[in-house]
């Protein structure tokens, strides 16, 4: 099996980026975000991006840095409430937004990664979420059709990874990263710790190497989105 390790984020993305592409990004809030890869995408200057992500980061960190440089054309997200620049661009008509219920977005990524082009769900029936979408009745209940997501590129962050691209996530970062990792035509992963092949317990690998084409070790800031301190 080929060694998939790259020396840095820019090198790992070389030849993969193009204007108008779609990107699935892992992470939950600021937890488990592929911050090195996001920075490299910003520095590349690629534009007109459509990004599938649980959220849009904050103004100066995470996917928010791509909004600052106006490289994003459309966001498909569940929650965008912590980003003032996102709100400004959306209200001014500079940015397209497609809201997805969080579970629906997760399942869209999972379905795309499993080769399932679409699925029916009750979530969103009778709301703005269902507008323009096919509906069908099963056992007397209405369901709306949602499409699986297959992105040109998936970027994820893991706790540990090996040279073959087997990945292990830690706690909250396991929410969207494993799903995003499956739905990219090419998946690039950054890890906190690179370990030797065979050192990861096979029963505890969250993303098998078959889904990952490139991997790098990154340096991570690990910001806290909202710091809550108990009074003394």
Which whole number is the average pLDDT over 60-83? 92
Please indicate whether residue 30 or residue 18 has the higher confidence score (pLDDT).
Answer: 18
The gap from C-alpha 8 to its chain's centroid, in whole angstroms, comes to 19
List, as one string, the DSSP characters of 157-219.
EEEEEETT--EE--GGGGTTHHHHHHSBSSEEEEEEEEE-TT-S-GGG-SB-GGG-SEEEE--
Within 13 Å and on the Cβ side, how many CA atoms surround 158? 32
**pTM of the predicted protein model:** 0.93
Which pLDDT tens digit goes with each residue over 171-208? 999 999 999 999 999 999 999 999 999 999 999 999 99
Task: Tell whether the model's pLDDT for residue 82 goes beyond 80.
Answer: no
Which whole number is the average pLDDT over 26-48? 96
Task: Tell whether the model's pLDDT for residue 80 goes beyond 90.
Answer: no
The answer to whether residues 58 and 32 touch, using CB atoms and an 8 Å cutoff, is: no
The answer to whether residues 44 and 14 touch, using CB atoms and an 8 Å cutoff, is: no
Domains, the chain, in order of start with CATH, read 5-115+149-217 (3.40.1080.10)
How many C-beta neighbours within 10 Å does residue 167 have? Answer: 27
pLDDT for the residue numbered 29: 86
pLDDT for the residue numbered 1: 58
Which pLDDT tens digit goes with each residue over 90-134? 999 999 999 999 999 999 999 999 999 999 999 999 999 999 999
Which pLDDT tens digit goes with each residue over 216-226? 999 888 777 77
pLDDT for the residue numbered 226: 72
CA atoms of 168 and 170, how far apart (whole Å): 7
Residue 156 confidence class, pLDDT cut points 50, 70, 90: very high
Please indicate whether residue 60 or residue 103 has the higher confidence score (pLDDT).
Answer: 103
Query: By C-alpha distance, which of 125, 119, 188, 126 is closest to 151?
Result: 188
How many C-beta neighbours within 10 Å does residue 185 have? Answer: 14
């Amino acid at each position: 099996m080929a060694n998939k390790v790259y020396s840095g984020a820019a090198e790992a993305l070389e030849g993969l980026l193009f204007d108008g592409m779609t990107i699935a990004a892992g992470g939950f809030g600021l937890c488990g975000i592929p911050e090195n890869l996001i920075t490299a995408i910003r520095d590349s200057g690629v534009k007109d991006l459509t990004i599938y992500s649980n959220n849009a980061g904050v103004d100066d960190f995470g996917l928010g840095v791509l909004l600052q440089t106006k490289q994003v054309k459309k966001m498909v997200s569940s929650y965008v409430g912590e980003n003032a620049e996102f709100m400004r661009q959306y209200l001014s008509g500079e940015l397209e937004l497609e809201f997805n219920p969080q579970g629906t977005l997760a399942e869209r990524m999972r379905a795309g990664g499993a080769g399932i082009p679409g699925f029916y769900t009750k979530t969103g029936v009778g709301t703005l979420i269902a507008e323009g979408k096919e509906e069908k009745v099963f056992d007397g209940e209405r369901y709306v059709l949602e499409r699986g997501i297959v992105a040109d590129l998936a970027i994820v962050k893991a706790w540990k990874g090996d040279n073959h691209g087997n990945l292990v996530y830690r706690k909250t970062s396991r929410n969207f990263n494993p799903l995003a990792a499956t739905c990219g035509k090419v998946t690039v992963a950054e890890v906190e710790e690179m370990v030797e092949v065979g050192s990861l317990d096979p029963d505890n690998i969250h993303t098998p190497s078959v889904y990952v084409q490139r991997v790098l070790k990154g340096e991570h800031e690990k910001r806290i989105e909202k710091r809550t301190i108990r009074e003394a």
